[in-house]
């Protein structure tokens, strides 16, 4: 009886070749396709998997779960890797891998396969999730297999193999870069982008309009949050209201995209030790992050925010490195949730030529007291209290100044 393997299948050349190669090695292959919001012809991908010999095909719609269980928690934590990357691919991979494990259990197998290469972060994200959620898993990673590497020295070898095996190969010319798309973003890397000074062509970008060509009139929105989670968006320009999490996010993607918002070009540090250039489009996520961060200024205690902000880089790093299901991630998530208990309210903003411009905010959980903050009225704040406050805080620095002979004494 053949051993059964569940393959994370995209329908592209790489995983189509891997599917057939696994069959040639004597495995029964179940193809699993995850719909995480990518622009994909899923019917064609299913037909390709069937033609390549898959015994069964799963097409799983994971879009809503991606929004509620992965994107929104990242927004609550203001999770940004190395100051720029909103973690689009990083957030989708643990979800894809989790469902792959669930399918493997349904199919009665502990063998899982993926098409990530040995140079990229995705191999870690897939395999760490496999091993945590299915400790007895057997992982097949062809790009780390000597026989596979000897057989396929390059793309031409894969195309020739596909033609020999009757696997449909796209006739279109290869793009000079690689892409990964989901509901949160599109990433572009490799090929011509490996030169860090190379400027991407305008026609590369698919989710966002060039800011220079974006509308001349701003588009105005209101985003409402409850305990750090987006619960409603109202487009003040056209009257549209969305409260379903998936529809809300899709509306923000469309609005931000047509206004040229969410482009990032950076050189980042991969987990495997090398630097890599990535170009990203994250329209809706960029707007949500800006609105959420602004609302925190109104509703979060200063010291709570300081502690939480110090942990954001680690939280983002855990996501990027593939540690979504780690014990430390569980602890940090609990802290992030606690810190968001009072982050509820509305943020008013406008989108204009690549910019998210905050107009105002309001909240029943506000810590802002206009009477105390006002320069025009006393409002119960005795300014003379600042004398002792400043003296107390200066004691330590005065002592250091004497020791270092900064002062006249």
**pLDDT digit of tens for each residue in the chain (409 aa)?**
899 999 999 998 889 999 999 999 999 999 999 999 999 999 999 999 999 999 999 999 999 999 999 999 999 999 999 999 999 999 999 999 999 999 999 999 999 999 998 888 899 999 999 999 999 999 999 999 999 999 998 778 888 898 898 887 764 456 778 889 999 999 999 889 999 999 999 999 999 999 999 999 999 999 999 999 999 999 999 999 999 999 999 999 999 999 999 999 999 999 988 999 999 999 999 999 999 999 999 999 999 999 999 999 999 999 999 999 999 999 999 999 999 999 999 999 999 999 999 999 999 999 998 766 666 666 666 777 788 888 888 888 887 887 776 555 5
Round to whole Å and give the CA distance between 90 and 122: 8
Distances (CA, A) of 190 to 13, 114, 177, 196, 373: 17, 20, 5, 10, 51
Q: What is the dihedral of CA 160, 161, 163, 166, to 10 degrees?
A: 180
- pLDDT value, residue 270: 92
Q: Considering the entire predicted model, what is its pTM? A: 0.92
Catalytic residue among 10, 99, 122, 294: 122
CA 372 to centroid of chain Cα atoms? 40
**122 counts as catalytic:** yes
**210 counts as catalytic:** no
Q: Which CATH number fits domain 179-300+342-362: 3.40.50.1700, 3.30.428.10, 3.90.1570.10, 3.90.1260.10?
A: 3.90.1260.10
Catalytic residue among 178, 237, 326, 366: 178
Q: Name the token pair of 116.
A: 């990530």
Decide if 4-62+87-174 and 179-300+342-362 have a common fold: no
- pLDDT value, residue 374: 63
**35 counts as catalytic:** no
The phi, psi pair for 15, rounded to 5°, reads: -75, -25
Catalytic residue among 93, 125, 263, 308: 93
The phi, psi pair for 31, rounded to 5°, reads: -90, 130
**187 counts as catalytic:** no
- pLDDT value, residue 319: 98
To which CATH superfamily is domain 4-62+87-174 assigned?
A: HUPs (3.40.50.620)
- pLDDT value, residue 286: 98
Q: What is the dihedral of CA 83, 81, 317, 74, to 10 degrees?
A: 110
Domain regions of the chain by residue span: 4-62+87-174, 179-300+342-362
């Amino acid at each position: 009886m053949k051993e059964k393997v569940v393959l994370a299948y995209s329908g592209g050349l790489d995983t189509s070749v891997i599917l057939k190669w696994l069959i040639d090695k004597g495995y029964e292959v179940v193809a699993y396709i995850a719909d995480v919001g990518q622009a994909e012809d899923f019917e064609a991908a299913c037909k390709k998997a069937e033609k390549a010999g898959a015994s069964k095909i799963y097409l799983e719609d994971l879009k809503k779960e991606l929004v509620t269980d992965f994107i929104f928690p990242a927004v609550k934590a203001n999770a940004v890797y190395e100051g720029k990357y909103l973690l689009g691919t990083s957030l989708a991979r643990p979800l894809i891998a989790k469902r792959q494990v669930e399918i493997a259990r349904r199919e009665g197998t502990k063998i899982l396969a993926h098409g990530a290469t040995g140079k990229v972060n995705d191999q870690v994200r897939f395999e760490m999730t496999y091993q945590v959620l299915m400790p007895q898993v057997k992982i097949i990673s062809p790009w780390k297999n000597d026989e596979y590497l000897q057989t396929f020295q390059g793309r031409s070898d894969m195309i020739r193999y596909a033609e020999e095996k009757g696997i449909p190969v796209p006739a279109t010319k290869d793009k000079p870069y690689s892409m990964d798309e989901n509901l949160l973003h599109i990433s572009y890397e490799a090929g011509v982008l490996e030169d860090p000074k190379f400027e991407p062509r305008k026609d590369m970008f698919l989710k966002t309009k060039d800011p220079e060509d974006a509308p001349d009139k701003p588009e105005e929105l209101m985003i409402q949050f409850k305990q750090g989670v987006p619960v409603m968006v109202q487009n003040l320009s056209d009257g549209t209201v969305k409260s379903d999490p998936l529809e809300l996010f899709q509306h923000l993607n469309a609005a931000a995209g047509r206004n040229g918002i969410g482009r990032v070009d950076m050189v980042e540090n991969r987990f495997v030790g090398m630097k890599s250039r990535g170009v990203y489009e994250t329209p809706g996520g960029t707007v949500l992050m800006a609105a959420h961060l602004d609302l925190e200024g109104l509703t979060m205690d200063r010291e709570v925010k300081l502690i939480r902000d110090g942990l954001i880089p680690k939280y983002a790093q855990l996501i990027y490195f593939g540690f979504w299901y780690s014990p430390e991630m569980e602890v940090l998530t609990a802290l992030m949730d606690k810190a968001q208990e009072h982050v509820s309210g509305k943020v008013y903003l406008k989108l204009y030529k690549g910019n998210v411009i905050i107009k105002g905010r309001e909240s029943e959980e506000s810590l802002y007291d206009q009477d105390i903050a006002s320069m025009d009225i006393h409002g119960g704040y005795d300014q003379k209290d600042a004398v002792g406050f400043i003296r107390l805080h200066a004691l330590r620095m005065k002592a250091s100044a004497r020791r270092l002979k900064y002062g006249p004494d």
